[in-house]
Amino acid sequence: MIFKNLTKKFYKNFFFIFIIFLLDRISKLYIIYLSNKFNTSELYNSKFLNISLTWNEGIAFGLLSFNRNDLYNYVTLIILAVIFVVFVIMIKSNSFKRIFLLMIFAGAICNFYDRIFYKAVPDFIDFHVGEFHWFTFNVADIFISVGVICMILFELIYNKQSDNEKF
């Protein structure tokens, strides 16, 4: 009975989330495998890009990293609450921004999975120019960042069009 009520939109959304999860898992598992195989976290270095495994115990881009388990657990619960809020907003959304929310949700689920199973998130993509390094990130972070940027742009453009229609 419950399967009859699932819509085509649900399957598309689930498939989209699953693909992002799969891309993230494969990339992280491969980097962890290479790091263990060669017994180093420095896997590739070039002029602008390094592939270097680091374990992020904090939240986005290593913020709020600490060694206390109780604080780690509180932050994990807060992240779970944020994921739930994004999920509720995503479910209620019928507009184009659902795609951006799906990207944010999928990326957050990927990193949450790592927090539960590894107690840290493996980050490995390190862009840099000379000695200036951007934050080290992973595939899930890319989807979260692109989703957030697109949501901001969508809201700015949509609100501007709505304001113009009022006058």
Q: Which residues are catalytic, by number?
A: 123, 141
- Which is nearest to 80 in space by CA: 56, 112, 121, 117? 112
Helices 97-118 and 8-38: crossing angle in degrees, nearest 10, is 40
- Provide DSSP, 31-68: HHHHHHHHT-SEEEE-SSEEEEEEEE-SSGGGTT--S-
Rounded CA-CA distance 100/91 in Å is 12
